[in-house]
Structure 1
Amino acid sequence: MASADLREELDCPICLNIFSEPIMLRCGHNFCRDCIVRVLDTQKPPRVYSCPECREEFSERPALQRNLILRKMVESVLSAQPNQKAEVFCTYCVDSPVPAVKSCLLCDASLCDKHLKVHSKSQEHILIDPTSSLENWKCSIHKELLKYYCTEDSACVCMTCTVAGEHRGHQVETLEKAADNRRKKLVNILQKLVVKKEKTEEKVWSLQEHKRKLQDEASEATERVTVLFKAIKRQLEDLEKRALREITRQRDQTFLPITDLLQKVDIKAKELSKKIDHFEKMCNTPDPLTLLQESDADDTGDTEDSDDELRDRQVHGIGDLDITLISKSLNTVSDVLACINQGIYVKRRVDVVLDENTAGNNICISSDGKTAFESKFQIRPVTKVRFHYPQVMSTTSFSSGRHSWEVEIKKSDDWRIGMCYPSIDRKGQSSGLGYDKKSWCLRRRFAENYTVRHDNNMVTLPHNISSDKIRVCLDYEAGQLSFYELGNPIKHLHTFTTTFREPLHATLCVWGGSLKICG
């Protein structure tokens, strides 16, 4: 009994059927989603929205809130009910129900195996799968079998409909032919839908790939920025410490003469205080003999001159803080900012491969095209593109975009790393990297400081490089070629700024040891 009561509570008050997607209004009453939507659609302004159950009114269209608990109850009740399949029984087995195997449209009856054997085999008797809705196969007006299809009205009709009914004179065809034609159309539509589905799936796959690519790029950029700003933070902290140390050093250096001068001035002030007291006593002495006898011994007419000498010689010898020197210690802030720009906006590292066809005879290239090292003179074919120096260009050229790659230095104290135009000379001094207007390089030569060179103009870097890895960054449109030391922290070494006129090739030159392209 309780189960029956529960089942009644699960009926929608509008359609009186069990809830489908139950929705709860603010007043607490529940309805099927489709039922309450239809009711609310009829209550459009200027009418007032109200609950169909309790008539509570709402100033605005009420929000539809899913009732998840009621939905679970409905699913539980439905799953507990047996799945009863509507079964058709034989019309002629009246004593006990026997499942039918066929239904006859002419006889308007269903037949079991036994009665089917004795059933008429005439063509007028049309047998179909067992059904309890035989009236659907007959004309609702003339109660005759539907045998034809009216192409003008798109309706199944009987014989009387075509002769004396409302479809008289219309173009008709048999149900079988009409079904075949419809089936062909459906097959064409199906084929088009399949093609559309395949294209849609390709688009979905393409979008998913693009999404994954964006996610990978975002993750890579996040990691790169995180590492970059950690390094920048360390650099700024070191820079702050250096600037504060310089200020402290100058302060202490300036304080020493000031302290010494203060001591001398303090002594002088005490001496003057004693003399003042003495002269005040003398001025107040009524005895003229005493006043005249002590006057010569205490004459201090040169006091003013000695004080001026002390002030000029010592006070003007004290210097101020050297703000210019302190500012110089902060000049590397621009390097840090350049590091930020390159670190964030440079694209992924490119795969640079060395072109052995351009390699000089005193340089050897590894089989993977990644490493260049000095070797004994090799006999190679003489070509227009081969360098006279132990120098080699990359196979790939760069004529746009932002790119970066890294070079690892192994046991070499004399090398050049940079880029050049393909039109660079291949012989003579001008073919050396950095010795003409067509090439730029970072160079190390034995124990000398590191230098950068372009058009034979050399700039010595202020500090040596402690790391064995150099990053090269190219921003073609901005006309910038930058070099970074991949130490801890990363240091910006130098940036060439120009307008590039030709494609650029990565270029290496080495004497002793090797240079390896890392990416």
Structure 2
Amino acid sequence: MASAEQRYEVTCSICVEVYIDPVTLTCGHSFCRGCIEKVLETQKRFGAHTCPECRMRIQEPVILEKDDELYKKVEDLLSTLSNQVFCTYCINAPVPAAKTCMLCDASLCDNHLRVHSSSVEHVLIEPNTSIDKMKCPIHRKVLEFYCCDQALCVSCTLTGHHMGHQAETLLQASEKKIEKLRNILDKLNPKRDGVEKEVQSLQKHKRDVQEKTSGIAEKVSTLITNIKKQLEDLEQRVLGEISRQEEQVSLQVWDLIQQLEIKKEEMSRKMGHIEELCTMTDTLAILHERESDRIDYCEADNDDNNVHALRGLDLGLILLTLHTGLADIVTGTMRKNKVTITSDTNPDTTTNPIQSLNVYMDTDIFLDVNTASNDVTISSDLKTVSRTDVKQCRPDGHMRFESPQVLSLKHFTSRRHYWKVKTSKSANWMVGMAYISIDKKGDQSWLGSNAKSWGLERWKGQYSAMHNSNDIQLPQSPSCNKLWIYLDYEAGLLSFYEQGLPARHLHTFTAAFTEPLHVLLCVGTNSWVRIAR
């Protein structure tokens, strides 16, 4: 019910009615837009505008701002008034009704209810604007009975279609209906409780997800920061390796330049001496000069080949350092954060960011038992070859080695690849690559003893590079039992490195490969070699 105070708050002081499109002046007083516009139009003749409420002078131009708060109050009041029932007989002002008379079709306030007839015909109900709905449309009498889903008056039960029916009073019918509704309510209550539990469960799940999201986001930020730090360290390591190689090559070039400068001065001295002889007039002196016309006087020294033997940057070592560093970061990150991925060993994949370097780390290299000699054993995972004194009973065949060697199942025909091997620390062994067409029997079958294989040998604590029966003693002494093997098939490069920080280059073979290359392992007494996973 709208109070007098509420009505006063939304009443325009000009028209004394509820505001229509209320606006506010700069002084703070509000009026209907139409009312204040008429007042301001009238005030034009006096050359000044003032507020009708407080008489405060209003500066030009006059700004009428819509009062949103007051507009909302007017809407609330009108909504309240539209739902109220007012006294039919109070014509000066709307007064809320206390009762509605079914016979008079009128609503009455408390004052008019005192003088209203109290006879039985005048049935009083709660204030209602829909009296017609409570009367029989045929007999215009109050609906009191209920039959066949239809409300009836007394006359309807005595005549017409419902004559003789066992009609119930509206109260009885409503009680039965209420009982049915309560039964339905009893069934709906547990269902609603179940839905409420589901809602609560979903809300809890939402909160859990929000909490986990916050935690995961924090972990990801920390992880990314850690990866950035590792990448920066790797960048410094790779750049340091490049700088080290550049400095090494520069020193070699500088030494060669110094040697060539000395050689150049010696040649200039010889040329000057010869030119001096050519200008002499003393024929006997010319003929007595024996050194300048010797056969070896102008022949180049063997050091001329040093320029051609000079190597550039070791791209394989640079790529391996970068590639293994990235692989270690990815592997370490996944292991630390318990991330599981499916290994994709297909070299054609483009989804692996590390493989975008065009260097492929091969972890799917397995040994071919059909090529293993009877002097070696192969592990169950086909990764390790070991020398044994117990002869294995493998059937002989044209693919089986007579010497203690074994080839890999996988072969390489393109691109850059690298893999890791681990060896016994003190025994003798050989690791390398060979064509499948290598001899399997006789002295020519050993790794490095033919033109179809290239290998690194450890023999009596020293490294040797072997190819086509050429044994090149390497200056480096073994310092660990872990090696990298790097292959650039198209460039014809096969390199061997000791693992470490930094990695140490041992030897690089250069060749024009014409057949698919297989890994070839050879083991001596009490030795073993394992291809790393």
Which TM-score applies when normalising by structure 2? 0.43
CA radius of gyration, larger in: 2
TM-score, normalized by length of structure 1? 0.44
